[in-house]
């Protein structure tokens, strides 16, 4: 639901306005106000190719971030490959945003049983109905696509598509805001993101408004904030509805069940191209959930999955040849995706040209830096194999010996939480650091006393994991509530990259910081909140010092740990301020906890033959 690419059209137009000699657009723009079934009118920009000579399909995007006021010049990167086939591009502001009438409520709830209800599903239906009847020289076929919130509005058309809607591509769409994606990860609040995004979207109807932090390092600001209740008490004063809803519903109650629109989806009524990023810092889970739900009753239409080595929406960038310091072996993965997958998908269903996609899933496999296709997902060849945590800090495919020490322990202190990326931590928007933090070198925390690191021996052959990854962590706490965060990491050898500096002159300033030698690359990271171990709807306290199994899903992956690399698993109990601090003392709601509820706790991770903590890897032969 959240989009790091806040109005790519605005960005493209800003770049154009900065040119000394503005380029001429290849589109004409017409702005209209399209009526909905309840009389509300939505601001809509229709961009028609100047060289149109025959009827063309309509490609729609629905957004809360604003529509262009001028034809884009040059063509935005995300349209480059599509525009070669010819489309009438339509961009529409959601109700209550900018010039669109009505109320914007940041909700994905769709009530299909009430004929008078309006929502993003009905608004899309009414929009397509108007477009195919009123836009000159359209061929009667429409598609819809978009990333993040725009991906959500595309995905919601699956619940009741217009007959003219022939192709959908939801890209990084959220699916269940309590279970994963933007707002929570399995009930653990994504504090900095949820708070800052709610302000961004609801502080001003006509603008994207950033919260004004009064310190440079937001880690410091959130720590000084104290209990979460101080956000309303000191700053928002109940003025942001979505934040109020978040803190009013700490558990997986009826409010969040309604927001989980994906539970109404059991097949794919329209061909759907699902797109996800393996390092998507906002919506990594939703596309996989939508893909799987679309297969439940047997896909009635074409439903495929694409995943690549991308941060949120990176596949819409011009090249996509790297993320942070990690390059992709010369591949321009964003361009390749659009050219070889996205454009042919829409071409087949909207132009009736080309061939239908023959695979079920296509991924860009990190490590090997190659595109892969699979007839099913997960691949049937993948074998679930346990990699065990060892009491001496090792990782092995052999279970811990029976005489091994039972556990490794550390002290978790909410007053000194582990930062989720290197400090200083800039605001989520704007800032620039937010996009690729999920590939940050984890050496910045791996010697903290409250972070456990388990490391394998150097691999004697390439190890490929393709499919769902999960950790089974046996752990205890001296408190009555606790978080456990698990990170699966690929450690590069110390000689991974040949030094580029002159052997006589030595390294230049910054060469060491840019080197991948010894780099600790996160492959998968996730949190589990102890209070929800038994039930998401009815949280319960943990029994002090009693071992519990913490099952931690690390989502779908496709990665090769290369020969000579090592595998690391890190375990910690804070991840701040990405995830709100667990007081480590059970309270009915963490959102109403007081400062006195935040206590230190001794955390134990068990590595024995009786309680064998391990990670499940889908290893390919």
The full 3-state SS of 553-609, as one line of letters, equals EEEEEEEEECCCCEEEEEEECCCECCCCCCCCCCCCCHHHCCHHHCCCEEEEEEECC
Q: How far apart are CA 423 and CA 414, in angstroms?
A: 17
- Maximum CA extent, the chain: 79
Query: If you search the block for the tokens 């047997």, which residue do you land on?
Result: 298
User: Which among 48, 78, 69, 242 is positioned nearest to 148, based on CA atoms?
Assistant: 78
Band (pLDDT 50/70/90 cuts) for residue 6 is: very low
Question: Angle between the 241-248 and 191-202 helix axes, to the nearest 10 degrees?
Answer: 150
Provide mean pLDDT across the span 594-619: 97
Provide mean pLDDT across the span 280-289: 97
Provide mean pLDDT across the span 531-551: 98
Provide mean pLDDT across the span 431-435: 83
List the CATH code of the domain at 383-619: 2.60.120.260
Band (pLDDT 50/70/90 cuts) for residue 14 is: very low
Provide mean pLDDT across the span 369-379: 97
Q: Residue 4 above 70 pLDDT?
A: no
Band (pLDDT 50/70/90 cuts) for residue 465 is: very high
Q: Exposed, middle or buried: residue 273 (CB in 10 Å: 0-12, 13-18, 19+)?
A: buried
Q: How much of the chain is helix, strand and coil, in % rounded to 5?
A: 20, 30, 50
Lowest mean pLDDT among 35-39, 111-115, 166-170, 203-207: 203-207
**What CATH superfamily classification does 8-176+260-374 receive?**
Alpha/Beta hydrolase fold, catalytic domain (3.40.50.1820)
Mean pLDDT of the chain: 93
Q: Residue 5 above 70 pLDDT?
A: no
Structural domain spans, the chain: 8-176+260-374, 383-619
Band (pLDDT 50/70/90 cuts) for residue 1 is: low
pLDDT given at position 23: 73
Provide mean pLDDT across the span 329-355: 98
Higher pLDDT, 73 or 67: 67
- Answer whether 12's CB lies under 8 Å from 18's CB: no
pLDDT given at position 105: 86
Instruction: Please write the tens of the pLDDT for every residue from 100-120.
Output: 999 998 889 999 899 899 999
Q: Residue 244 above 80 pLDDT?
A: yes
Q: How far apart are CA 369 and CA 365, in angstroms?
A: 5
pLDDT given at position 298: 74
The full 3-state SS of 18-68, as one line of letters, equals CCCCCCCCCEEEEEEEEECCCCCEEEEEEEEECCCCCCEEEEEEEECCCCC
Band (pLDDT 50/70/90 cuts) for residue 131 is: very high
Q: Residue 514 above 90 pLDDT?
A: no
Q: What DSSP state is assigned to residue 493?
A: P
- Can you name the residues that pair with 147 across neighbouring β-strands? 171
- Answer whether 8's CB lies under 8 Å from 63's CB: no
Q: How far apart are CA 114 and CA 96, in angstroms?
A: 21
Q: How many angstroms separate the first and last alpha carbons of the chain?
A: 37
- Answer whether 88's CB lies under 8 Å from 375's CB: no
Lowest mean pLDDT among 488-492, 501-505, 575-579: 501-505
Band (pLDDT 50/70/90 cuts) for residue 64 is: very high
Q: Contacts from 164-167 at CB under 8 Å and sequence distance 24+?
A: 164/128, 164/129, 164/132, 164/140, 165/128, 165/270, 166/57, 166/141, 166/142, 166/270, 166/271, 166/349, 166/350, 167/143, 167/270, 167/271, 167/272, 167/273, 167/345, 167/346, 167/349, 167/350
Percent of the chain with pLDDT over 70: 93
Q: Residue 145 above 80 pLDDT?
A: yes
Q: Residue 87 above 80 pLDDT?
A: yes
User: Which among 103, 131, 143, 133 is positioned nearest to 119, based on CA atoms?
Assistant: 103
Is the fold of 8-176+260-374 the same as that of 383-619?
no
The pTM (predicted TM-score) of the whole model is 0.94
Band (pLDDT 50/70/90 cuts) for residue 511 is: low
Q: Exposed, middle or buried: residue 199 (CB in 10 Å: 0-12, 13-18, 19+)?
A: buried
């Amino acid at each position: 639901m959240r989009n790091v690419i806040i109005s790519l059209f605005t960005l493209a137009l800003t770049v154009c306005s900065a040119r000394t000699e503005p380029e001429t657009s290849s589109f004409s723009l017409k702005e209209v106000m399209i009526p909905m079934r309840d009389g509300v009118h939505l601001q809509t920009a229709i961009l028609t190719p100047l060289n149109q000579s025959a009827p063309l399909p309509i490609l729609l995007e629905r957004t809360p971030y604003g529509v262009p006021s001028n034809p884009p010049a040059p063509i935005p990167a995300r349209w480059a490959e599509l525009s070669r086939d010819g489309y009438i591009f339509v961009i529409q502001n959601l109700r209550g945003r900018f010039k669109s009438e009505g109320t914007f409520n940041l909700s994905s709830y769709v009530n299909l049983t009430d004929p008078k209800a309006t929502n993003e599903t009905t608004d899309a239906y009414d929009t397509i109905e108007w477009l195919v009847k009123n836009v000159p020289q359209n061929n009667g076929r429409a598609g819809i696509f978009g990333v993040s919130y725009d991906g959500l509005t595309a995905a919601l058309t699956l619940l009741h598509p217009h007959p003219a809607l022939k192709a959908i591509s939801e890209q990084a769409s959220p699916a269940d805001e309590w279970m994963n994606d933007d707002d929570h990860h399995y009930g653990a609040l994504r504090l900095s993101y949820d708070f800052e995004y709610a302000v961004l979207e609801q502080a001003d109807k006509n603008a994207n408004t950033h919260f004004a932090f009064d310190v440079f390092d937001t880690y410091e600001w959130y720590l000084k904030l104290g209990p979460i209740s101080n956000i309303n008490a000191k700053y928002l004063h109940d003025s942001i509805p979505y934040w109020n809803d978040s803190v009013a519903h700490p558990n997986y109650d009826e409010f969040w069940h309604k927001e989980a629109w994906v539970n109404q989806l059991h097949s794919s009524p329209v061909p759907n191209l699902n797109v996800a990023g393996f390092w998507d810092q906002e919506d990594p889970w939703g596309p996989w959930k939508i893909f799987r739900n679309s297969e439940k009753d047997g896909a009635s239409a074409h439903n495929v999955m694409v995943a690549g080595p991308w941060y949120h929406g990176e596949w819409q960038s011009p090249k996509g040849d790297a993320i942070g310091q990690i390059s992709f072996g010369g591949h321009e993965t964003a361009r390749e995706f659009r050219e070889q997958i996205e454009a042919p998908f829409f071409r087949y269903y909207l132009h009736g040209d080309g061939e239908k996609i023959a695979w079920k899933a296509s991924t860009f496999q990190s490590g090997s830096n190659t595109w892969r296709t699979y007839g099913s997902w997960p691949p049937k060849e993948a074998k679930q194999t346990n990699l065990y945590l060892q009491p001496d800090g090792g990782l092995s495919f052999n279970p811990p010996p029976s005489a091994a020490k039972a556990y490794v322990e550390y002290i978790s202190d909410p007053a000194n939480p582990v930062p989720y990326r290197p400090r200083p931590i800039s605001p989520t928007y704007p800032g620039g650091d937010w996009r690729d933090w999920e590939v940050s070198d984890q050496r910045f925390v791996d010697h903290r006393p409250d972070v456990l690191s388990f490391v394998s021996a150097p691999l004697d052959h390439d190890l490929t994991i393709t499919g769902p990854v999960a950790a089974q962590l046996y752990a205890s706490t001296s408190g009555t509530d606790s978080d456990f965060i698990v990170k699966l990491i690929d450690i590069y050898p110390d000689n991974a990259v040949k030094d580029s500096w002159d052997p006589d002159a030595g390294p230049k300033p910054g060469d060491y910081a840019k080197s991948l030698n010894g780099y600790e690359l996160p492959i998968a990271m996730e949190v589990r909140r102890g209070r929800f171990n038994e039930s998401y709807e009815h949280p319960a306290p943990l029994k002090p010092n009693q071992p519990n199994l913490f099952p931690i899903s690390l989502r779908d992956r496709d990665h090769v740990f290369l020969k000579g690399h090592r595998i690391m698993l890190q375990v910690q109990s804070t991840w701040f301020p990405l995830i709100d601090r667990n007081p480590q003392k059970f309270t009915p709601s963490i959102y109403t906890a007081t400062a006195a509820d935040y206590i230190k706790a001794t955390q134990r991770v068990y590595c024995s033959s009786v309680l064998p903590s391990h990670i499940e890897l889908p290893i390919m032969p």
